[in-house]
Amino acid sequence: MTSVQLITSRDNPTIQRLRKLAQDPNAYRKLGEVWLEGDHLCSACLERGQQVPVAVIADVAWLGEHGMGSGVDPLAVRLTELARQAARVVVVPQALWATFSGLESPARLGFLLARPMDEAHSSLLSGVATVVLDRVQDAGNVGSILRSASALGVRQVVAMKGTAALWSPKVLRAGMGAHFALHLVEQVQPEDLVSLGVQMIATSSHADHELHQAPLAEPCAWVMGHEGQGVGEALMRQCAYTVSIPQPGGEESLNVAAAAAICLYESLRRRLS
């Protein structure tokens, strides 16, 4: 049976940890835990078979172990059902939730997970479709790329050192659950990528091929670079060739998340054909 704990003090160690995890994008690396806030992320986590040690729920949404009957708020029913999937439920007053929430409108439910296993370069998968993120800074871009990767059949995303923290709250929200469908590796150096075992292809405005004519390997690793500087020189030297995306409308460049989605779709289109 799920154990239930009521916390009412903002100085409680659990509340302090939640505050750090919600406010510091790198806190999960220090604390060894990841904070998922909102029923969508929590649902995605459970659907992928993740074990949940702790659910945190606002008192106004917690219906207890046997309190769900007719006429009850459907959202509270849903949040309570999700919370019950955890080994332990922590109930906090709605007013206290605002002290650690990372959202303008607190979601009233979150999961506290153990941080995924230490993602050193030794855990790189070999021979699978991959996206390599080279110092991509914006959390929204990183999360969007993870979502596209999951949707378009990519197995692995590798973040080079200097890329936005993959398990930070903003990246988690932008990814909308994609994290749990991907093998994620962080803090990688260029020399570690030898173990990928697939051809690496970079995007560039001064490219060897246009995307629709490029001899794409299957599988391959798409390398997406820093929003302003592109792919770094050391990493570019490891790529088999570069491709550009035709832009007859005359724009100078595409947003990195949009470029990634287009490239990943082209790989998928060729697999399907």
Q: Which residue has the tokens 């690496």?
A: 200
The pLDDT assigned to 120 comes to 46
| Per-residue DSSP letter, 162 | T
The pLDDT tens digits for 197-239 are: 999 999 887 778 999 999 999 999 999 999 988 899 999 999 9
- Residues 204, 210: Cα–Cα separation, whole Å: 10
The pLDDT assigned to 121 comes to 47
Compute the average pLDDT of residues 146-151.
98
Q: Which two tokens stand for residue 232?
A: 């770094």
The pLDDT assigned to 235 comes to 94
- Residues 171, 90: Cα–Cα separation, whole Å: 25
The pLDDT assigned to 273 comes to 85
Q: Is the pLDDT of residue 28 over 80?
A: yes
* 3-state secondary structure (DSSP) of residue 19: helix
Query: What confidence category does residue 176 fall into, taking pLDDT thresholds of 50, 70 and 90?
Result: very high
Enumerate domains of the chain plus CATH numbers: 3-114 (3.30.1330.30), 121-272 (3.40.1280.10)
Q: Give percent above pLDDT 90 in the chain.
A: 79
- Residues 158, 196: Cα–Cα separation, whole Å: 10
The pLDDT tens digits for 102-134 are: 788 878 999 999 987 545 445 899 999 999 999
Q: Is the pLDDT of residue 180 over 50?
A: yes
156 and 125 in contact (C-beta within 8 Å)?
Answer: yes
Average pLDDT along the chain = 91
Cis amide leading into 25 (omega within 30) = no
Distances (CA, A) of 244 to 5, 172, 197, 206, 272: 55, 29, 23, 7, 22
pTM exceeds cut of 0.95: no
Compute the average pLDDT of residues 69-95.
89
